């Protein structure tokens, strides 16, 4: 195939669980790489996105670096997809939204048990934390949402094959039924 | 306190159905519901502590932490806003030195917002320790602040502050009807109970709360239930913003309403009735009790009514600030002393209502009409109105017009006629039927009020061309998010998302896809919510989006996307704590700005 579909993936404030689940498509990965080429992704170690067809984003937005990465993906991907509970709703990291950022940082770096040389980290190399963890659709435009914690391998497979074969992606009830 | 709670529980026969009443007394005395009181009540009533806490948290007039000795709430209805509510609230906060939503340090006063208090024709309105305040202005606020700071008991406050007027500007069939106490019961007894139900049936009377179910059918279904313990409930939880007719009917047509309930009770075979009075109408409570007592003394309530062996009595139950309790099954839950969460239907209340027994729930105005029909017969009523909407409708008119108040019209009246009568000029549009109803534009004034065209529970809010429609939509959307009972996710989460997405557009952060996203969200909330609240919560957005799409689109930016919050501002805390202000410590609001 001359022009393979180009896919980029990343994890922002996530646990890489969605990526692990993606790998659970197992031997179908061989079929997939016949059709797609991976750009920026933990799978390839490519550092920056170039023109892509599909961007898969795991995790919510918790710091300024997440914002930059997300924008890079948006600027370079024709279709941007929120993958999993954290990207869609903020998920587990968003549990800190009920506590002020100042309290969080003080607990972690100043007052917490066992903290030595207490100080709030400050270095221009370090991204600053947002006061709240945000779902990614609050920061850039998102085209599709894949629910689940994590979305199952079959969800990834169904969604990607639909897109690659030119169908409007649709997830049957069995794939988004969790109990 | 122990003794006080013990006493309350005894006065209420340790019945958990009276929980709201007991909590009201505790809240009145301590200005909150103390933890110890909850523990003690839980033992005395033999119900779990968590059940009591859930009730306290559900109703906005109950609090788990202390409110001020004087609790001042200002009505947040759009009509109050149109009369200058916001400035007034800010002014009160300033002169009382209290933050809105909080209690002053000395514990003397707290200030907050209340959903529409039903004084839309005489606002800006408020409540002080539950009692209605009307026509607030700066001098009245000064006076109130002084009275509070002097710690004057409410009974010593000048009565003008609490003056509530009827403002009846146009009366028709029902409001003009002369009334002799007991006449409807007498007519029913003379005609026979079955024949009276036939008259109600022939009158074509439909429920006046807005849904319009045929009254005689409801009564007939209830009377045919095999269970013999049945109940009549008058729904006076008039919470739809812009509605206040029931307040006037209960104030000046009280006897007729009670008599309508008694007629219904005789027809369905009920011995007990309830008037569920919204907490905001506390000022009517003592008067209503007096009239009930008078009716008992005149042999129109109690045992052996009019000497024909009918037994029926009415108990008044006060709500505690929850719009959802206007939904009949939520109202019944509330009567049973629980949080007002709508039940699954079916079974409908006519088969399983109060305590699982067959129950008729009707609006105040429906019972008033029933009294008239019992006296004058069905034809008297059916001769007026349209084919499917018989009789008259009592409207609560407010907003931009010369004479806001109560108007009674035959069904089928055009909107334009109403506008002429109440002195409305330069009209931009009207919210018909309250926030859950429809917004109509000035191209639709030939439409008719009737179940066939514009159905309404009676709220009629007029907006002139100086008003911003999106302010109104924003107010209504906040109202629904505040009043969602929280039971089902599409409504609990959906109304909050609607509020957020609308704010994004109104505040100018919206871009190309945001109106579409808003509309999709509206459909989701509308189609998946458990009860009428969620199913209508998106109406203010949907009805205005349909009529004024340009209004929404004009607020959008010419870019593909912008976050709805201040991105750089979200880093402010981290910048301060890390003591940084370099370029990397900042974020541009949009990508294009960034590049």
Could you tell me which residues of chain A have a Cβ less than 8 Å from any Cβ in chain B?
64, 67, 71, 74-75, 100-102, 105, 120-122, 124, 126-132, 134, 138-141
What CA–CA distance (Å, rounded) separates B330 from B39? 26
Which of B590, B591, B592 would you mutate first to test chain A, the one with the most A CBs within 10 A? Answer: B591
Q: Which of B165, B189, B223 is the last residue before a domain boundary?
A: B165
CATH of the domain at B528: 1.20.1440.230
B333 vs chain A: nearest CA distance in angstroms?
30
CATH of the domain at B248: 3.40.50.11540
Query: Which domain, by its residues, includes B130?
Result: 70-165
Which of B504, B572, B574, B588 would you mutate first to test chain A, the one with the most A CBs within 10 A? Answer: B574
Contact between A101 and A107 (Cβ < 8 Å): no
B585 and chain A: CB distance < 8 Å anywhere? Answer: yes
Residue B489 lies in a domain: yes
Check A128 against B585: CB less than 8 A apart: yes
B53-71 pLDDT per residue, tens: 999 999 999 999 999 999 9
How high is the mean pLDDT in each 10-residue block of chain B (595 residues)? 94 95 96 96 96 96 97 97 96 97 96 97 96 97 97 96 97 95 96 96 94 95 95 97 97 97 97 97 98 97 94 97 96 97 94 97 97 97 96 97 97 97 96 95 96 94 96 96 96 97 92 91 96 96 95 87 91 95 92 54
Q: Could you count the other beta carbons within 10 Å of the beta carbon of residue B417?
A: 14
Q: Torsion angle of alpha carbons B318, B321, B326, B327, nearest 10°?
A: -120
Q: What is the pLDDT of residue B560?
A: 79
Q: Verify that B225 and B314 share a domain, yes or no.
A: yes
Q: What is the pLDDT of residue A2?
A: 57
Q: Verify that B461 and B481 share a domain, yes or no.
A: no
Q: Verify that B245 and B369 share a domain, yes or no.
A: yes
Q: Which residue of B has its CA nearest to A104?
A: B574
Check A126 against B561: CB less than 8 A apart: no
Q: Verify that B250 and B336 share a domain, yes or no.
A: yes
Check B580 against A124: CB less than 8 A apart: yes
Residue B594 lies in a domain: no
B533-561 pLDDT per residue, tens: 999 999 999 999 999 999 999 998 887 78
Find chain B residues with C-beta within 8 A of A75's C-beta.
591
C-alpha neighbours within 13 Å on the C-beta side of residue A130: 27
Check B585 against A102: CB less than 8 A apart: no
Residues 497-526 of B with CB under 8 A from A: 511, 513
Check B579 against A122: CB less than 8 A apart: yes
Q: Verify that B218 and B310 share a domain, yes or no.
A: yes
Which of A135, A141, A143 would you mutate first to test chain B, the one with the most B CBs within 10 A? Answer: A141
Could you tell me if residue B28 is left (phi over 0), alpha (psi between -120 and 50 degrees) or otherwise beta? alpha
Count the domains in chain B: 5
Q: Verify that B280 and B365 share a domain, yes or no.
A: yes
Q: Verify that B207 and B352 share a domain, yes or no.
A: yes
What CA–CA distance (Å, rounded) separates A76 from B28? 62
Check B580 against A122: CB less than 8 A apart: yes
Q: What is the pLDDT of residue B176?
A: 96
A50-67 pLDDT per residue, tens: 999 999 999 999 999 999
Residue B188 lies in a domain: yes
Q: Verify that B507 and B544 share a domain, yes or no.
A: yes
* Angle (CA) B333 B52 B238, round 5°: 40
Q: Which of B327, B359, B382 is the last residue before a domain boundary?
A: B382
Sign of CA dihedral B327, B333, B334, B340: negative
Q: Verify that B401 and B266 share a domain, yes or no.
A: no
Find chain B residues with C-beta within 8 A of A94's C-beta.
none
Q: What is the pLDDT of residue B247?
A: 98
What CA–CA distance (Å, rounded) separates A117 from A120? 10
Q: How many CB pairs under 8 A join A and B?
A: 61
Residue B575 lies in a domain: no
Straight-line distance from the first to the last Cα atom of chain A, in angstroms, rounded to the nearest whole number: 40
Q: Verify that B176 and B154 share a domain, yes or no.
A: no
Q: What is the pLDDT of residue B592?
A: 62
Q: Verify that B89 and B188 share a domain, yes or no.
A: no
| Residue recorded with tokens 């239930």 | B225
Confidence label for A6 from pLDDT (cuts 50, 70 and 90): very high
CATH of the domain at B138: 3.40.30.10
Q: If you average pLDDT over every residue of chain A, what do you get?
A: 94
Angle between helices B285-297 and B254-268 (to 10 degrees): 60
Q: What is the pLDDT of residue B196?
A: 97
Q: Verify that B147 and B206 share a domain, yes or no.
A: no
Which of A62, A68, A139 would you mutate first to test chain B, the one with the most B CBs within 10 A? Answer: A139
B571 and chain A: CB distance < 8 Å anywhere? Answer: yes
Q: Which of B165, B188, B207 is the last residue before a domain boundary?
A: B165
Residue B580 lies in a domain: no
In this structure, what token pair is assigned to residue B94?
């300033």
Phi, psi for A164 (deg, rounded to 5):
-65, -40
The topology under which CATH files domain A5-95+133-171 is Rossmann fold (3.40.50)
């Amino acid at each position: 195939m001359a022009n393979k579909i180009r896919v980029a993936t990343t994890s922002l404030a996530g646990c890489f669980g969605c990526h692990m689940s993606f790998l659970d498509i197992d031997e179908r990965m061989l079929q997939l790489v016949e059709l797609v080429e991976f750009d920026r992704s933990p799978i390839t170690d490519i550092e920056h996105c170039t023109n892509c067809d599909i961007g898969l984003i795991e995790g919510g937005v918790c710091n300024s670096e997440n914002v930059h990465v997300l924008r890079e993906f948006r600027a370079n991907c024709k279709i941007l997809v929120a993958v999993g509970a954290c990207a869609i709703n903020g998920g587990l990291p968003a549990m800190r939204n009920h506590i002020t950022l100042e309290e969080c940082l003080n607990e972690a770096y100043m007052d917490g048990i066992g903290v030595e040389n207490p100080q709030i980290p400050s270095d221009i190399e370090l991204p600053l934390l947002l006061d709240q963890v945000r779902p990614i659709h609050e920061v850039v435009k998102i085209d599709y949402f894949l629910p689940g914690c994590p979305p199952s391998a079959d969800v990834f497979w169904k969604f990607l094959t639909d897109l690659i074969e030119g169908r409007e992606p649709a997830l049957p009830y069995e794939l988004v039924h969790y109990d | 306190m122990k003794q006080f709670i013990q006493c309350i529980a005894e006065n209420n026969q340790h019945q958990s159905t009276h929980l709201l009443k007991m909590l009201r007394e505790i809240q009145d005395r301590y200005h909150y519901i103390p933890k110890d009181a909850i523990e003690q009540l839980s033992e005395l009533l033999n119900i779990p502590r968590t059940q009591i806490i859930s009730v306290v948290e559900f109703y906005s007039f109950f609090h788990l932490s202390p409110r001020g000795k004087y609790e001042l709430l200002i009505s947040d209805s759009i009509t109050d806003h149109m009369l200058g509510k916001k400035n007034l609230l800010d002014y009160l906060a300033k002169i009382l030195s209290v933050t809105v939503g909080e209690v002053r340090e000395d514990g003397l006063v707290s200030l907050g917002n209340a959903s529409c208090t039903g004084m839309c024709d005489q606002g800006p309105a408020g409540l002080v320790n539950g009692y209605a305040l009307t026509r607030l202005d700066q001098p009245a606020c000064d006076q109130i602040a002084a009275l509070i700071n002097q710690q004057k008991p409410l009974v010593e406050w000048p009565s003008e502050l609490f003056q509530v007027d009827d403002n009846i500007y146009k009366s028709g069939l029902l409001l003009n009807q002369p009334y002799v106490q007991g006449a409807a019961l007498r007519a029913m007894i003379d005609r026979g109970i079955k024949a009276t139900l036939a008259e109600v049936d022939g009158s074509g009377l439909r429920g006046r709360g807005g849904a319009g179910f045929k009254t005689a059918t409801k009564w007939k279904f209830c009377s045919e239930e095999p269970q013999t313990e049945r109940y009549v409930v008058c729904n006076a939880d008039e919470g739809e913003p812009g509605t206040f007719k029931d307040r006037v009917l209960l104030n000046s047509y009280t006897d007729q309403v009670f008599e309508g309930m008694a007629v219904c009770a005789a027809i369905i075979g009920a011995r007990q009735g309830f008037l569920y009075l919204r907490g905001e109408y506390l000022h009517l409570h003592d008067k209503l009790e007096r009239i009930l007592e008078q009716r008992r003394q005149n042999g129109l309530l109690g045992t052996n009514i009019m000497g024909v062996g009918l037994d029926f009595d009415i108990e008044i139950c006060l709500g505690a600030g929850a719009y959802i309790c206007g939904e009949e099954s939520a109202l019944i839950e509330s009567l049973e002393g629980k949080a007002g969460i709508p039940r699954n239907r079916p079974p409908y209340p006519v088969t399983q209502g109060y305590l699982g027994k067959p129950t008729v729930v009707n609006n105040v105005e429906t019972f008033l009409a029933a009294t008239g029909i019992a006296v004058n017969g069905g034809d008297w009523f059916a001769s007026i109105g349209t084919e499917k909407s018989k009789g008259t409708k009592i409207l609560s008119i407010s907003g931009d017009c010369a004479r806001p108040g109560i108007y009674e019209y035959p069904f089928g009246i055009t909107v334009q006629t109403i506008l002429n009568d109440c002195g409305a000029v330069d009209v931009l549009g009207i919210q018909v039927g309250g926030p859950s109803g429809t917004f109509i534009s000035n191209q639709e004034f030939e439409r008719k009020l009737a179940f066939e065209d514009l159905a309404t529970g009676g709220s009629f809010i007029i907006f002139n061309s100086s008003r911003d429609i999106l302010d109104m939509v924003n107010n209504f959307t906040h109202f629904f998010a505040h009043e969602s009972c929280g039971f089902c996710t599409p409504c609990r989460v959906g109304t909050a998302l609607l509020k957020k997405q609308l704010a994004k557009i109104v505040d100018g952060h919206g871009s190309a896809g945001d109106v579409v996203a808003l509309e999709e969200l509206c459909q989701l909330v509308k189609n998946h919510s458990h009860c009428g609240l969620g199913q209508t919560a998106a109406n203010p957005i949907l009805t205005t989006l349909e009529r004024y799409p340009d209004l929404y689109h004009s607020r959008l930016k010419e870019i593909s996307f912008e976050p709805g919050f201040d991105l750089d501002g979200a880093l402010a805390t981290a910048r301060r704590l890390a003591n940084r202000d370099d370029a990397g410590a900042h974020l541009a609001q949009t990508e294009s700005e960034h590049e």
